[in-house]
A and B are shown apart, each in its own frame.
Chain A
């Protein structure tokens, strides 16, 4: 909810529109475009209804890898585990889902991006016109701040992401946010840029999903307004027809269903800025509330995952084990990834692929002869270019963010 003490231009795209108007518009769009009528999600004690103009979960999940139930239905959250992420580029059907509200069914032909706030020229850019600006394609990490949350003890509040769920590294196509901001002309005193999504709330009182980022990251040329993912139009669940991609940063900055940009003289004040995505500094005792004034999460710290072998895989003694995975570090490059086969007593460096794009993960690989039968635990530990290394256990925080502990996979080696 916007802070009433902070006036916002009524013409601003971030001014919360009347919910009824919005739903009425969506209903009209649905009626005109053969959209989805209200329907029952599940035969629960109280059936969940999909309002007109939203995409039902079954439709979304039908396009995803089968075999993984969502972590939650309302809001929809979903991911696979690490062994199903053994790709250089994350395919659409493996990309994680983290909604705050319901999935909107938006009309690309009528989609307009509004730029307001501290700019010389407020802009209304139809999607077709935006696509005529100089565009580029880059591979970039998007990872939910809570990715890996189940690792925390005691359990932290929020989606039960597995240690390696809640992230992906597809390619994105779009324009630099910087180019759009330059076109609008950023005024002196502007320090933050806010993004507003068109996702639909279940109640009229639900505020819009809005996040702002500092000007330096907004002007970094990889910070992108994207309309394509892996070479095709954005899937509806991933922000169709337009989204932010703030690569390397917490996923909440990569606003889906983007329709509004506002240039501000202070960080945006709202529930998706102030009540979540914050970590106490210094840390607090487990079980505590989030203290006021805790800093907001931005770039992810260094992290890695083993994507081959999978947990519990069986191998034959005398064979060769290929250990493979991915490593990433927010705004930084990866310096090295080390593998341990003896619970951390000794480490050996894995081979790293070159950095394909500035914010792409790097793939690592190590071949290990399997000499003995028995159980074998494999640890992977990444270090970034600043010398930061993955911890054994990440620091507990009330909302369970930034789990980046050393990833561990156990396999069984059978006698020949």
Chain B
């Protein structure tokens, strides 16, 4: 029964909409996404939840908090009408398909929950990664493997989760993009 429950959890995704990717990425740092999917709260309660998560160490900027609160208060609000949410959701899905391939990959794999280009969040800044490996010709292949297998130790003891579903091509595409972020 537990195995079935885990399989069910794995299929849960947030409703598409403005801020869905950021919400997925940030919440997934500490929670299974089902933890969010099953929640229904008023805006006031979501504001309270966000404040509490920041107090508990969530790596969020004020902009992140605003976007995620708006998203959750729109799509996971037990008081809000669902028609508006569905319309916005269709728009967002359309916008997402127009995003560039690397942005789509970063969003889909929740990379931005722990990484940012300019600064360390949980994991290192992409700029710092690019700087460290700029003279290392073997780095792209090694880092692409690390994206799939996960790792620990190169940037501290907080582990990088594995992404076993990532294709070799997508991994290389993301690594090449990261290494040009100097």
- A interface residue numbers (CB < 8 A to B): 1, 19-20, 23-24, 27, 38, 40-49, 51-52, 58, 61, 66-70, 72-75, 154-155, 157, 160, 201-207, 271, 274-276, 287-290, 398
Are A27 and B157 interface neighbours, CB within 8 A?
Answer: yes
B182 beta carbon closer than 8 Å to chain A: no
Question: Quick check: B52 and A61 within 8 Å, CB to CB?
Answer: no
A-B contacts at CB below 8 angstroms, number: 147
Tell yes or no: B141 within 8 A of A by CB.
Answer: no
Would you list which residues of chain B between 1 and 25 have a CB under 8 Å from chain A? 1-2, 4-7, 9-10, 13, 24-25
User: Which residues on B are within 8 Å of A, measured CB to CB?
Assistant: 1-2, 4-7, 9-10, 13, 24-25, 28-35, 38-42, 44-45, 47-49, 51-52, 55-59, 78-79, 108-110, 113, 122, 150, 152, 156-159, 161-165
29 contacts between A and B (CB under 8 A): A20-B157, A27-B157, A38-B152, A40-B162, A42-B7, A42-B10, A45-B24, A45-B33, A45-B109, A46-B24, A46-B109, A46-B110, A46-B161, A46-B163, A47-B161, A47-B162, A66-B1, A66-B2, A69-B1, A72-B35, A73-B9, A75-B31, A202-B30, A203-B58, A203-B158, A204-B57, A206-B56, A274-B55, A287-B44
By a CB distance below 8 angstroms, the chain B residues around A69 are: 1-2, 4-5
Contact B52 A275 (CB under 8 A): yes
CB distance from A269 to the nearest CB of B (A): 11
Apart from A46-B33, A203-B158, list 11 A-B contacts with CB within 8 A. A20-B156, A44-B9, A49-B159, A52-B157, A70-B2, A72-B35, A204-B158, A205-B59, A271-B52, A271-B56, A287-B79
Which 6 A-B residue pairs are closest in the complex by CB-CB distance? Answer: A69-B5, A205-B57, A206-B57, A271-B55, A46-B110, A23-B157
* A398 / chain B contacts, CB cutoff of 8 Å: 45, 48
Contacts of B157 in A (CB 8 A): 20, 23-24, 27, 51-52
A204 CA to B165 CA, complexed, in Å: 27
In the bound assembly, the distance between CA atoms of A160 and B164 in angstroms comes to 31
Q: In chain B, what residue has the closest Cβ to A270?
A: B55
Query: What is the bound-complex CA distance between A276 and B42, given in angstroms?
Result: 17
Q: Is the CB of B41 within 8 A of A157?
A: yes
Within the complex, which residue of A70, A75, A287 is in contact with B42, where a contact is CB–CB below 8 Å?
A287
Q: Provide the residues of chain A in CB contact with B29, threshold 8 Å.
A: 202-203
> Which partner residue on chain A sits nearest B44 by CB separation?
A289
Looking at the complex, which one of B7, B35, B159, B161 makes contact with A74 (CB distance below 8 Å)?
B35
Chain A residues within 8 Å of B39, by CB: 157
Give the Cβ gap from A54 to chain B, nearest Cβ, in Å. 10
Residue in B closest to A24 when the chains form the complex, CB atoms: B157
Closest beta carbon of chain B to A188's beta carbon, Å? 32
The distance in angstroms between the C-alpha atoms of A51 and B157, with both chains bound, is 9
Complex Cα–Cα for A75 and B30 (A): 8
- Complex CA–CA separation, A39 to B31 (angstroms): 16
Are A72 and B34 in contact, CB atoms less than 8 angstroms apart?
Answer: yes
> Chain A residues near B7 (CB, 8 Å)?
42
B34 shortest CB reach to chain A, Å? 7
Whole-angstrom CA separation of A202 from B28 in the bound complex: 10
Task: Give Cα distance in the complex from A1 to B51, angstroms.
Answer: 12
In this complex, what residue of B is CB-closest to A69? Answer: B5
A189 to B90, CA, bound (A): 61
The residues of B that contact A205 with a CB separation of less than 8 Å are 57-59
Q: Is A49 a contact of B162 with CB atoms below 8 Å?
A: yes
- A370–B25 Cα gap in the complex (Å)? 56
Contacting pair B113 A290 (CB below 8 A): no
| B158→A23 contact, CB < 8 A | yes
Residues of A within 8 A of B31 (CB): 72, 74-75
